Amino acid sequence: MADFIKDNLNADGVDRRGFLKCMAWAGTGTFCLIQGGVLKSFALSDIANRGLAAAKGELSFVQLSDSHIGFDKAANPDVTATLDAAIAKVNALETPPEFVLHTGDLSHLSKPSEFDTLDQRLKSLRTDKVFYVPGEHDVLNDDGAQYRERYGKGTKGDGWYSFDQKGVHFIGLVNVMNLKAGGLGTLGKDQLEFVEDDVKHLKSSTPIVVFAHIPLWSVYPEWGWGTDDGAQALGYLKRFGSVSVLNGHIHQIMQKVEGNVTFHTAMSTAFPQPQPGTAPSPGPMKVPADKLRALLGVTDVNFVRGKNTLAVVDSTLA
C-alpha cells in the first residue's frame, strides 16, 4: 500500500501545506493522530505495526457522513444496508464512542420517509447521542424547515450550535443554505458572528472541533468543494492551539494541515465520489459490487486530554 502518509511532518507542522491525501482505495483505511495540532496519518493496515491499536483517549467519538438515504442508483442500490454496516462497525468498537456526529446528507431528497428510515436505523447505535449538521440534500424545497424540526431543536439560525464535551469545544456549522450562483458553500454573516462570539470566552488551550457538511477549506472549487467564507470563520480560531475541522460532502478521505488547523473529510456510508479532477463531474462513482464497501466508511475520533492528542481513524465497511 503506497498511499499512506509517512512520518513527514515536522513537530511544528507548518512546512507542510500541500494536501495530505489519504485516499482509501482498495479496502485500506486511514488512522490519523493529531498531536499539538499536527496530524499524522497511517494506513489502517499499518496500525498494528506501529502499536497504535490500543490508542485510547478520555473522549472518543465517531463521524458518519453522507448516508443519502433514498438513493437507489447503480453506484449503490442499497444505501440502507451500507449504513447498517457502518453502524455495526461503530457498535463493534472496543471503546464505545461518547457520541456520533453525522456531517450531513442524511437523506437524498429530503423526503420524510428517508429521514424516518435514517432515524430508525440510527436507533441501533450503542449511543443515544447523535449530533447533526445538514447537507444540501437535507434542505431541498423547504429551506431546511423539516431538517430543523427533526434535528435542529435548540439550534440557532439555520441550525448551527456548539457544545462542550470533556473539555473539547464542538461547533456545528451550516454551509449549505442560500448558495449563490457560481459560488461555493456559504456560512453567511450571522453565522460568522456566532462563531466569533461563541469562542470569545474560551481559553486558547481549549481543543476545538468544527464540523460542517461542505469542506470549510478549498478542496476543489471547480466542483464546488469549498466554502466561500470558510477562511473567515477559521480566522476566529487562530489563537487556539488545536483546531480540527471535520467535513463530509466529497465522499472520500482527504486531510490537510495548515498551522494549528487540521482538516479532515470523511467517506460516505452510501457511495464514493471521484478524486478531484479525475472525472468530468463529481457524480456518484460506479464501482464493482465487491469493491463498493471498501470505499465507504466510518470515522472514529479519539481525544486524549493532557497529551492534547486527537486521533482520527477512518475505517472502511469492507
Partner 1 sequence: MKKTMLKVVVCAVLVAALGWMAGGRTHLFAATHLFTTAGAAGPVEIKIDNYSFTPADITVAAGTTVTWVNRDDVPHTVRNNDGTLKSKALDTDDKFSMTFDKPGTYEYFCSIHPKMTAKVVVK
Q: Which residues bind partner 1 (CB under 8 A)?
A: 71, 73-75, 108-110, 136-137, 140-141, 179-184, 221-224, 280-284
Cβ at position 238, least distance to partner 1 in Å: 28
Distance CA 48, CA 197 (A): 43
271 vs 303 by CB, closer to partner 1: 271
Distance CA 249, CA 155 (A): 21
27 vs 183 by CB, closer to partner 1: 183
Among the listed residues 167, 259, 244, the one whose alpha carbon sits nearest the alpha carbon of residue 212: 244
Task: Give the H or E element holding residue 59.
Answer: strand 59-64
209 vs 219 by CB, closer to partner 1: 219
Cβ at position 85, least distance to partner 1 in Å: 21
Cβ at position 283, least distance to partner 1 in Å: 6
Distance CA 265, CA 39 (A): 13
Assigned C-alpha cell, 153: 431543536
Cβ at position 86, least distance to partner 1 in Å: 21
> Does residue 125 contact residue 83 with C-beta atoms inside 8 Å?
no
Q: Which residues of 193-205 are buried (b: 16+ CB within 10 A; e: fewer)?
A: ebbeebbeebeee
Cβ at position 130, least distance to partner 1 in Å: 24
Cβ at position 224, least distance to partner 1 in Å: 4
16 vs 291 by CB, closer to partner 1: 291
214 vs 313 by CB, closer to partner 1: 214
Distance CA 146, CA 61 (A): 26
75 vs 199 by CB, closer to partner 1: 75
Q: Are strands 309-316 and 168-172 parallel, antiparallel or unpaired?
A: unpaired
Distance CA 12, CA 48 (A): 26
Cβ at position 156, least distance to partner 1 in Å: 22
225 vs 240 by CB, closer to partner 1: 225
Query: What contacts 261, CB < 8 A, 6 or more positions away?
Result: 37, 234, 237, 243, 244, 245
Q: Quick one: 35 exposed, middle or buried, by C-beta within 10 A (0-12, 13-18, 19+)?
A: middle
